[in-house]
Every structure is written in C-alpha cells, then in structure tokens.
Amino acid sequence: MAALTLVNVTKSFGKTDVIKGVDLEVQTGEFCVFVGPSGCGKSTLLRMIAGLEDVSSGEVMINGARVNDVAPAKREIAMVFQSYALYPHLTVRDNMGLALKQAGQSKAAVAKSVDHAAAMLALEPLLARRPSELSGGQRQRVAIGRAIVRTPKLFLFDEPLSNLDAALRVATRIEIAKLHRDLDATMIYVTHDQIEAMTLADRIVVLRDGRVEQVGAPMDLYNDPDNTFVAGFIGSPM
C-alpha cells in the first residue's frame, strides 16, 4: 500500500485556485522532494497532507485512510517547518518531549524517547538549554529531534534548511539523509534548492502554478526534462 496517495487534490482560497488537481502516489520508505518556484503551492500541499488545511476537492490518503478521518493525535505524521516553532519557555528536553507528555506517556517513557532521539542527533549536551541559548542550526536540530521523538511514519519538511548558513545546510542535510536511512520512514521534503533536491530525493516532484509539471528520479529529470521549466529547476544543461 502507498504511504501517501493524492487523488485530484485541489485547493482554493476564495476565488484563487492555488492547487489545481494534483495526483501523486508516494511509496513507504520513499524520500520524495517537492520543488517549484515561490508561490506555486508547495506549502499549501504539504499542509493538506498534514491535515492542517482542508482540501477543496479530492482526497489525501495516508496508509489507505483519509487524513481527516484519523484523529490528529493518531496520524503518525510529523512536520518540520522553516521557522523552528520551539516553545521559548521550555528546555530542549521539554520541547522534545511535549507531544509524548500530552499523549499521556509516563515521565520515564518520555525521558527514554527523548534520550534516544537526542543521541541520534548529538543533542545530549543541549537538553537543559532553552531555545534562546541555541544557534539557528541547533534549534533546527531540536525541531527535527522533536519530530523524531514521536516515531512518525511520515515526515513532512517545509524548507527546513533555508534559514541556515551554507555550511550548516550541508551538515543538516547529511543528517536528514542519515535519519531517512536509520528510521525507515517516508519523507516528503519541500525545497527550492536544487542541490538538496538532487542529493536527497528518490523522486522529485516538480510543481508549477498548482500542478505537477513532471515527476521522476533525480537523474532521469536531469537527463530528460520534459521542458525548459523543469530543466531550469533541476539545473540540467539547456
């Protein structure tokens, strides 16, 4: 069964059609990257997959169930945003453990899960700090750690590296690739960065103005783009 299926998904805000009929199937364990210009609907699509935004028409199915038929706490989806969205008054440990605590897990169980995720991301030395005491890169690692703690089956990333400087972008990208291997999870990753798309993706979905322009493995898109728009986005020689 596909991890994610989109069937003719559309979204309008008032009279503006933003997503204009997207069909897509993502297999379990796949790393699928969405690319496309600013305003083409990447974040809107991701928010609909997360169930944070209703579709105007069509279906979003996760492991065969409509996303809105599953209670939010049971969705097994984690989303990592560009803005880290950490709670400033909580320590790193409490930020990472909050969702588990809210789900009613015991203190000991929460601590164990947080310790495990912290070890994966080398966050142990930071657990007692608050977000204001962290660098941008460290905050983003905490945001990723908070997503891992919930052991989701589906990770949704919305331009998670775009606020980091170049060196940190590379380091964090390598960490995300490693997590994908270690966790065996399905990942949907939005970026407008060609290098991120080419290095992380099993498959790239090129979006343009609310529609899928082309889908394929990175090297297939690179070598055989359907048109100059795709070539431009993937960085193929024209």
List residues binding ligand ADP (CB under 6 A).
13, 18, 36, 38-44
* Amino acid (1-letter code) at residue 96: M
Count of Cβ atoms closer than 10 Å to residue 93 Cβ: 21
Sheet containing strand 154-158, edge to edge, reads 77-80, 154-158, 186-190, 31-35, 203-208, 211-216
Minimum CB distance to ligand ADP, residue 5 (Å): 20
Question: Could you tell which of ligand ADP, Mg ion, none binds residue 13, using a CB distance below 5 to 8 A set by kind?
Answer: ligand ADP
Nearer to Mg ion, 113 or 191 (CB): 191
DSSP string covering 165-185? -HHHHHHHHHHHHHHHHHH--
Minimum CB distance to ligand ADP, residue 60 (Å): 15
Nearer to ligand ADP, 17 or 175 (CB): 17
Minimum CB distance to ligand ADP, residue 11 (Å): 8
Q: Which residues bind Mg ion (CB under 5 A)?
A: 42-43
What distance in Å separates the CA atoms of residue 53 and residue 220, rounded to the nearest whole number? 32
* Amino acid (1-letter code) at residue 194: Q
Nearer to ligand ADP, 203 or 208 (CB): 208
Q: Is the dihedral of CA 102, 107, 111, 113 positive or negative?
A: negative
Minimum CB distance to ligand ADP, residue 224 (Å): 24
Minimum CB distance to ligand ADP, residue 43 (Å): 3
Identify which of 228, 196, 201 has the alpha carbon closest to the alpha carbon of residue 215.
201
Nearer to ligand ADP, 6 or 100 (CB): 6
Contact at 8 Å (CB) between 67 and 61?
yes
Nearer to ligand ADP, 39 or 72 (CB): 39
Nearer to Mg ion, 42 or 139 (CB): 42
Minimum CB distance to ligand ADP, residue 44 (Å): 3
Question: Could you tell me where the DSSP H helices lie in the chain?
Answer: 42-49, 92-102, 107-120, 136-149, 166-183, 194-200, 218-223, 228-234
